[in-house]
Structure 1
């Protein structure tokens, strides 16, 4: 694989890692697609091994990501109403401030829901922090896996 294509694969991997942190961007799938692209052009034992290992890791992480938050979220008292407020806030934030506005909108939606339910500012913020910790765990698990795959890719490039 020539240098320009290698740089493009690296850019896709970087966008995937950043995409894990941005709501609505399929960061994990971008990382996997970058490794797939590289393995299809490289066609070496190391490339195929990395593709198989990263596929297995990222699939396991998807399962963990979907199992982990519901348990933690139920533990902190997340309701369907709160999820609706958070989703509406994320959409509104995304429209008002494209891309980066989704995160503050999401947090604002949770705060508004909890402020209505609990009545006080302090209790609402405590609830928002608990929810964000529960959601943050799944994001950190996914980010760690993507960084592990990108690190393995970079190590394979240097080693081969």
Structure 2
């Protein structure tokens, strides 16, 4: 697989990561489809291993999301800008504190957005709790799964 095709796969994965944060866009399935495309065009054992792992992670995240409350983020006052803050926080946390940093990073992003919007610590904490209860945990589970898949793909491309 050439560098151009790898860049296209990376772009589709990035679009999928952004799609997780946008309601109605099947972001996790875009990430999985990009990994499938890569595995089919670069048939190596590591590519198939990443594809099998990605499938397992997505199925597991789907099960977790079914167990969580349904998404009702719009009713809680969540905005697209909040999704950007949460996604950036999760990505930054995932990089700074590998893997587990995505969890506090996601919540820190929501808190920062609400702190800037509302002004006070107590109000921001209350808004964070509301956002996580009304579907933020579901978005976090899906985004975390996609970050794991992206990291596995990047690792396989760079070191595989």
TM-score interval (norm. to shorter): 0.5 to 0.7
Aligned to 1:133: 132
Distance 2:125 2:50 in 1: 42
Structure in which a larger fraction of residues adopt helix: 1
- TM-score, length-scaled by structure 1: 0.64
Shift of residue 129 of structure 1? 5.3
Match of 1:25, SS state, is coil
Q: Which structure 1 residue ranges, 5 or more long, are not aligned? A: 74-82, 94-99, 104-124
Distance 1:50 1:129, change over 3 A: closer
4+ residue segments displaced more than 6 Å: 125-128
Shift of residue 128 of structure 1? 6.4
- TM-score, length-scaled by structure 2: 0.64
Shift of residue 156 of structure 1? 0.4
In the comparison of the two structures, how many residue pairs are matched?
Answer: 119
Q: Which structure 2 residue ranges, 5 or more long, are not aligned? A: 84-123
Aligned to 1:2: 2
Shift of residue 126 of structure 1? 9.3
* Within-5 A mapping of 1:48-127: 48-70=48-70, 86=75, 100=80
Distance 1:132 1:9, change over 3 A: same
